Amino acid sequence: MKRRDFIKNASLTGVGLTVGNSLLNCAENSSEKTKKEMTITTNKSKNPIAICTWGFVNANAKAGEELSKGVKALDAAIAGVSVEEKNLKNTTVGKGGAPDREGNVTLDACVMDSNGDCGSVVCVENITNVAELARRVMTETPHVMLAGLGAEEFAYRQGLEKDNLLTEASKKAWKEWLKSPEYKPLINIENHDTIGMLCMDKDGDIAGACTTSGLSYKMKGRVGDSPIIGSGLFIDNAIGGAVATGMGEEIMKTVGSFLIVELMRNGMSPQKACEEAVNRITNKNDRYKDFQIAYIAMNTSGDVGSYCIHKGFTYMKYQNGVNKNVHSDYFIKS
């Protein structure tokens, strides 16, 4: 046999062995992957859970009831937060929310689905259900975020109704504030500015929504953490989700909700992850006693955690037909 033919045949044999081994490895990996997927599918079914920031009893009950009917996680979350968006007595979310310093009510919201898709709207006037509008941005546009007039015009094209968000009660409070316009957030009152909600449906999928009118008498154009994916809300269906409430400027500096999910990815429980996210803020800002920050989180096992700076933050949890208010642990003990 000539040397050239020997080398050629040897090369072909090597290729054959390589291809054979590769195919064998692929078959083994495919088999292993199939086993893992079967395990995930087998363990995917969960007992539905809804949690939300603060004591929004009716909103969380609505989400929980929807989940109990078999509704998907994102649909339940949007149905839940819309209860507060329409609640005229709630001055921090939706219609009836406190205006900015110019007397204009502007709303922010975002949603995130279990598949990683998300949508957001900021500085929206004249539309009450901005969480639903954020969902439409996610599903009906190639974008993630729409702002101001563009978001409002899109809402009308989607069939959402125009509504005057400034109620007489909010207008009266704003005019009273104008007499001595001083801005200093009140712990657990003015920081009580958001409803953030996480839902796990019967299939074990997690989704969330976050909606707010922002801080009372904010500067015109101000946007906080609530509509910012990764700050006010973040979901990874393989790990869990988190939502935030409180002083949005501080939450954005650490991308708090994303941070919590990443900490859970690295083995932390939802509780420990929320604690670490708060610690990141208090370690870097010596003014932390002047504002409130609070987080809630849930992992794929249905474990829930919460932590805040100041005593007084509570969250709602709906599971097994029971909707209860839970007091969060807190950083400042004295």
The residues that are catalytic are 194
Pairwise CA distance, residues 244 & 308, whole Å: 10
| Strand order across the 107-112 sheet | 145-147, 118-124, 107-112, 206-212, 195-200, 49-53, 314-319, 322-327
Mapped to the 3 state alphabet, what secondary structure does 38-75 carry? HHHHHHCCCCCEEEEECCCHHHHHHHHHHHHCCCCHHH
The structure tokens listed for 2 are 């000539």
Helix (H, G, I), strand (E, B) or coil at 256: helix
Contact by Cβ (8 Å): 214, 108:
yes
Quick one: tokens of 15? 């290729």
Report d(CA 310, CA 308) in Å as an integer.
6
Write the DSSP symbol of residue 328.
P
Q: What span, in angstroms and rounded, lies between the C-alpha atoms of 134 and 147?
A: 10
CB 209 within 8 A of CB 81: yes
Distance separating alpha carbons of residues 192 and 185, to the nearest angstrom: 10
Q: Looking at this protein, which amino acid is placed at residue 23?
A: L
